[in-house]
Amino acid sequence: MSVEAPPTPMSVQDLKRVKNSIIRNPVAKTALSRDAAFMRSLVECVDVASVGGTVGNEIRVEAAHIVTSLSFGSESTLETLLRLQTPRILVFALSQFTLTDPLPLRSAYARSLRAIVASVAEIVGPSEYGLRPPRRTSSTTHR
């Protein structure tokens, strides 16, 4: 199953379609994470400085749900999210929210941040304690 990235600017319906196509589909998550333009647009949707208003909140919630799902994908998908500074954007957004911001929005951002942090810990933790062999880089494979 292939996932077609929606055009930018993205609508709520486009994001829902993407979300439904990547849930429990690691191949689709990896394919989507390789689409640099889509990933940049997705992270921009999560950035509180770039989208506002009621429709903006709906877009931000859906984008946060996609980020959550992607963070449970492959290591390369997680690497893409980290390279785009998604955790920093989520932390900043969470620090800016007030009690007047919709609860679904605040919850979606908190879940996204938790998912990314948990995925990073799952990858880094075991190799730190010798429970998983360290990841080989190109410089260590040619010795």
Helix and strand totals (H; E) in the chain: 8, 0
Distance in angstroms (rounded) separating the CA atoms of residues 77 and 29: 7
pLDDT at residue 1 is higher than 50: no
Query: pLDDT, tens digit, for every residue of 47-78?
Result: 987 766 655 899 999 999 999 999 998 899 99
pTM of the model: 0.81
Distance in angstroms (rounded) separating the CA atoms of residues 27 and 32: 9
pLDDT of residue 49: 76
Query: pLDDT, tens digit, for every residue of 36-53?
Result: 999 999 999 999 877 666
Mean pLDDT of the chain: 86
The one-letter code for the residue type at 110 is A
Query: HSE-up of 123 (CA within 13 Å, CB side)?
Result: 15
Percentage of residues in the chain having pLDDT higher than 90: 68
